Amino acid sequence: MPQEQYAHRSTMQTSEGPQVYKVGIYGWRKRCLYFFVLLLMILILVNLAMTIWILKVMNFTIDGMGNLRITEKGLKLEGDSEFLKPLYAKEIRSRPGNPLYFQSARNVTVNILNEKTKVLTRLVTGPQAVEAHSQKFEVKTLSGKLLFSADDNEVVVGAERLRVLGAEGTVFPKSIETPNVRADPFKELR
């Protein structure tokens, strides 16, 4: 009996006729939804355009970005570059046959650090002087012959000939030892 009542109720018509229910969003809600979808599409297009513009301006490629190229040996930087913070590298070299330039408004400092990041050796080239801070300083020829060496205990001049060109010559407060002292040719020794 309940099934018959159910069937009877479903076929009943109201006095106003069949009711139709609208499914969906209508009116101002529909306009707001379309507005937000349109706004989202515009933002996606602007974002895509700016991404393409940044890729174009920064010269992004598969190999790297701008003058910076990624190689199997590391990074390769072509052209002039400016570093605002310290640069840490295992090796810096120029292209074969081209010089390597360092330019600075004040000085260029090269530090050699140990494993505990303590400075062992420092080379400072400034506008007034070149300073080397280390335990020992050496100047050698291309063949490896020692020309000059200095440390806390002694200064060694390894050249075959030492010339002092100052107007006053040189002054030694204590004794010196040499196998030969001579003047320039046709000049007297004083």
Q: What is the pLDDT of residues 77-136, one digit of tens each?
A: 887 888 888 888 888 888 788 888 888 888 888 888 888 888 999 999 988 888 999 999
Q: Has residue 58 been placed in a domain? A: yes
Q: What is the rounded distance in angstroms from the CA atom of residue 180 to the CA atom of residue 169?
A: 16
Write down the pTM of the prediction.
0.49
**31 domain-assigned:** yes
Residues 27 and 70 in one domain: yes
Same domain membership, residue 117 and residue 71:
no
| Strongest mean pLDDT among 37-46, 53-62, 71-80 | 37-46
Residue 188 inside a domain? The answer is no
The pLDDT of residue 15 is 64
In a domain, 34, yes or no: yes
Quick: pLDDT tens for 9-24: 555 555 667 787 777 7
Whole-angstrom Cα distance, residue 154 to residue 136?
Answer: 10
pLDDT, residue 124, reads 92
pLDDT of residue 46: 98
Does residue 8 carry a pLDDT above 70?
A: no
Would residue 165 count as lying in a domain?
Answer: no
Q: Are residues 79 and 35 in the same domain?
A: yes
Confidence of residue 36 (pLDDT cuts 50, 70, 90): very high
pLDDT recorded at residue 35: 96
Is residue 45, in this structure, part of any structural domain at all?
A: yes
Same domain, yes or no: 74 and 43: yes
Domain count, the chain: 2
Asked whether residue 151 falls in the same domain as residue 111, the answer is yes
16 within some domain: no
Residue 14 lies in a domain: no
Model pLDDT, residue 48: 97
- 81 with 129, same domain: the answer is no
Which residues have a Cβ under 8 Å from the Cβ of 67 and sit 6 or more positions away? 77, 78, 79, 81
Do residue 111 and residue 75 come from a single domain? no
pLDDT of residue 2: 53
**Are residue 81 and residue 26 in the same domain, yes or no?**
yes
Average pLDDT over every residue of 166-180: 80
Sequence-distant (≥ 6) Cβ neighbours of residue 66 within 8 angstroms: 58, 59
Residue 69 in contact with residue 63, Cβ under 8 Å?
Answer: yes
pLDDT band at 53 (very low <50, low <70, confident <90, very high): very high
Query: How many angstroms separate the CA atoms of 81 and 101, rounded?
Result: 11
Task: Write down the mean pLDDT value for the chain.
Answer: 83
pLDDT for position 23? 77
The residue segments making up the domain with residue 124 are: 106-157
Mean of the pLDDT values across residues 53-69? Answer: 86
